[in-house]
Amino acid sequence: MTPAASAPAIAVTGLRKSFGDQVVLDGIDLEVAEGTIFALLGPNGAGKTTTVHILSTLSAPDGGGIRVGGHDPALHPDLVRAAIGVTGQFSAVDGLLTGEENLVLMADLHHLGRVGGRRRAAELLRRFDLAEAAGKTAATYSGGMRRRLDLAMTLVGDPRIIFLDEPTTGLDPRSRRTMWQIIRRLAAGGTTIFLTTQQLDEADELADRIAVLDHGTLVAEGTAAELKSRIPGGHIQLQFADADSLDAAARALAGATPDRDALSLQVPGDGSVRSLRALLDRLDRDGLDVQELSVHTPDLDDVFFALTGHPTTGTDRTTTESTGTTGTTEKEAVR
Amino acid sequence: MSTLGYSVSDSATMLRRNLRHNLRYPVALIVSLGVPILLLLLFVGVFGGALGVGAVPRGGHYIDFVMPGILLITVGYGASSTAMAVNRDATEGIISRFRTMPISRTAVLTGHVAGAMIRTLATGVLVVGVALLMGFRSSAGLLDWLAVAGLFALVALALTWLAVAVGLAARTAEGTSGFTLLVQLLPFISSAFVPTGSMSGAVRWFAQNEPFTPIIDALRRLLTGAPIGHSAVVACAWSVGLALIGYLWARALFKRDLRL
């Protein structure tokens, strides 16, 4: 038996769940190490929220083994509840109460006592930049403020494990950044974070490990770098001024794919400095006139497409990082 | 603290939250107080003269006849706002939050029920006060009044638990409107405003057999000092039965799986 200290914060094996005929989770295995950020990535309807519901005792699984904070939610729901905090997809704040009253309500339910509760509420209001709005009812808060209050309420009981179901959906870019910062700080403090997202950049930005969920099954699991390395798609794109230069280059570089309409040439490469230098040397030696060069490293969009055969509904992001002048690159080859 | 201690203190916390809601959003309170008083004015002042001829024996006052029905309508409006409040909690996600916390399972619902009971009993007292100002007189003694209060509380408990269940079951606030309509309409097809004997055919049968009629009859007998008869037993049986259905239904709904 492994000692409790090294036991994972969350361990799931063969988790299954159906609603009637509809299979929502079809045998999921995952493990989240203590103090890490784990992202469950997938499009709408993949089963992310159902997973969170089951792990947070809101829903019973049809089958599979689950340990959250070392306890089985089916056998000891209250021990699991004492270890976790949940911030759902829709802000679960009491709109008729003020920000402070919402936090004191949570403190009372955690039996922190009158003085202790108020102190905790004041501390969280300050930490989440809500001190000024503490006396206003939550119904008057902006979306970002409601999310912050929601997360602050989750933290009142000082949970060891936090579930965040799409924590930044619907937030403006600035509030999103703020939320990311808060999440990172929590993890730095030793809290385990299980977050779901359909935004690839969010998982890339925050998570130590990412699991890709699609139609109730995990199609991949690993670090962002591992996932990216699992699929082909890393290449260097060369842009030419005319068809002659393109043809010349295509003849010189074996394995490259020319695109005559775009006057561009895709050269396979892993994006390392060494392969890039080799390519540049070759271009130099043959006197090939390249107008523009860009390095393309596969991102999670490519991963998702490669793994599931369909793109995500996530936000667009720049997939290429190009440099302006011929033959030189000051950009990092590897992100 | 013991489990029971936590359970009581969690329920008290939820009750405080509920009472605070009434202060922050007094519309529900105003409606559940204002509508019965408005109906009292309407039926006593406008229809009373005409309706009273058939309903009240010579020398009696229509307001004395209509009072039990008004009390029941007070309970009904209180229950409607309870259903809406519970539904708001359920749809806004705060009930999900409570369910993921290590708190007593029943505290959330008992907090709602306790809050609703306090609100309904208070509005009941106020409605009786207004009725007294309008000329309502009762020959009931102290014991009769205690029995009235007890039956009123029992009916309030029954409709409140039903309201909690409806609020949990409905996916939207509009979903509770069926319940609202029912508790607001049923008193009209009962012995609240006219004796059921004056109704015709199927309506009369319905009015004589629906739960509100024996409750109203029992309240009326208590308030007028008439012999209570078996209406009290029927009234209590209906109330206890409805309370039990509401409680079990609400408890099952609270425990059920959360579905997207």
Interface of B with A in 94-133 (CB under 8 A): 94, 96-103
**Closest chain A residue by Cα to residue B15:** A105
Is B44 part of a structural domain of the chain?
yes
Is B85 part of a structural domain of the chain?
yes
Query: Strands A192-197 and A264-268, how do they pair?
Result: unpaired
Strand-pair partners of A192? A161
Is B211 part of a structural domain of the chain?
yes
Is B166 part of a structural domain of the chain?
yes
**Closest chain B residue by Cα to residue A136:** B24
- Judge whether B147 and B57 are in contact, CB under 8 Å: no
Interface check A236 vs B, CB under 8 A: no
Q: State whether B259 and A81 contact (CB < 8 Å).
A: no
Residues above pLDDT 70, as percent of chain B = 96
Is B219 part of a structural domain of the chain?
yes
Q: State whether B92 and A110 contact (CB < 8 Å).
A: no
Q: Closest Cα partner for B70 from B117, B35, B102?
A: B35
Chain A partners within 8 Å of B100 (Cβ): 56-58, 81, 84-86
CA distance A326 to A280: 10
pLDDT at A317: 35
Chain A partners within 8 Å of B257 (Cβ): 53, 58-60
Smallest Cβ distance to A81: which of B10, B93, B102? B102
List pLDDT tens digits, range A137-175: 999 999 889 999 999 999 999 999 999 999 998 888 988
Full DSSP string of A37-64: EEEEE--TTSSHHHHHHHHTTSS--SEE
List pLDDT tens digits, range B188-236: 888 888 888 788 888 888 888 888 999 999 999 899 888 888 888 999 9
Q: B192-215 in b/e burial notation, b at 16+ Cβ within 10 A?
A: bbbebeebeeeeeeebeebbbbbb
Interface of A with B in 305-324 (CB under 8 A): none
Chain B partners within 8 Å of A19 (Cβ): 259
Query: Strands A10-19 and A22-32, how do they pair?
Result: antiparallel
> Chain A: nearest CA to B258, how far in angstroms?
6
Q: Closest Cα partner for B238 from B221, B213, B220, B219?
A: B213
pLDDT at A329: 32
pLDDT at B70: 92
CB atoms within 10 A of CB A101: 20
Domain around B222: 3-255
Q: Closest Cα partner for B68 from B135, B151, B133, B143?
A: B151
How many independent structural domains does chain B possess?
Answer: 1
Q: Closest Cα partner for B137 from B188, B221, B67, B38?
A: B67
pLDDT < 70 stretches in chain B: 1-2, 52-53, 58-59, 257-260
pLDDT at B194: 82
The per-residue pLDDT string of chain A (335 residues; one tens digit each, 9 = 90 and over) reads 444 456 899 999 999 999 888 999 999 999 999 999 999 998 888 899 999 999 999 999 999 999 999 999 989 999 999 999 999 877 789 999 999 999 999 999 999 999 999 999 999 999 999 999 999 999 999 988 999 999 999 999 999 999 999 999 888 898 899 999 999 999 999 999 999 998 888 998 999 999 999 889 998 899 988 887 776 667 788 999 888 888 888 888 877 888 888 889 888 776 678 888 888 888 888 888 888 988 877 766 677 777 776 665 443 333 333 333 333 333 333 33
Strand-pair partners of A238? A265, A293
pLDDT at A324: 34
Q: A312-331 in b/e burial notation, b at 16+ Cβ within 10 A?
A: bebeeeeeeeeeeebbebee
Is B138 part of a structural domain of the chain?
yes
Report the amino acid identity of residue A178. T
Is B71 part of a structural domain of the chain?
yes
Smallest Cβ distance to A60: which of B6, B25, B257? B257
> Chain B: nearest CA to A10, how far in angstroms?
16
CB atoms within 10 A of CB A218: 23
Q: State whether A97 and B17 contact (CB < 8 Å).
A: yes
Q: Which DSSP helix (H) or strand (E) runs through A236?
A: strand A235-239
HSE value, Cβ hemisphere, 13 Å, CA-based, for B27: 6
In this complex, how many residue pairs, one in chain A and one in chain B, have their CB atoms less than 8 Å apart?
A: 74
pLDDT at B258: 62
> Chain B: nearest CA to A284, how far in angstroms?
60
Long-range CB contacts (within 8 A, 24+) of B222-226:
B222/B140, B222/B144, B222/B145, B222/B147, B222/B148, B222/B151, B223/B64, B223/B67, B223/B68, B223/B138, B223/B139, B223/B140, B223/B144, B223/B148, B224/B64, B224/B138, B224/B139, B224/B140, B225/B138, B225/B139, B225/B140, B225/B141, B225/B144
Is B260 part of a structural domain of the chain?
no
Full DSSP string of B148-216: HHHHHHHHHHHHHHHHHHHHHH-SSGGGGHHHHHHHHHGGGGTTTTS-GGGS-HHHHHHHHHSTHHHHH
Q: Closest Cα partner for A79 from A88, A89, A70?
A: A70
Q: Name the token pair of B120.
A: 């309904």
ipTM of the shown complex: 0.85
Q: State whether B93 and A82 contact (CB < 8 Å).
A: no
Chain A partners within 8 Å of B26 (Cβ): none
- Judge whether A70 and A4 are in contact, CB under 8 Å: yes
Q: State whether B260 and A49 contact (CB < 8 Å).
A: yes
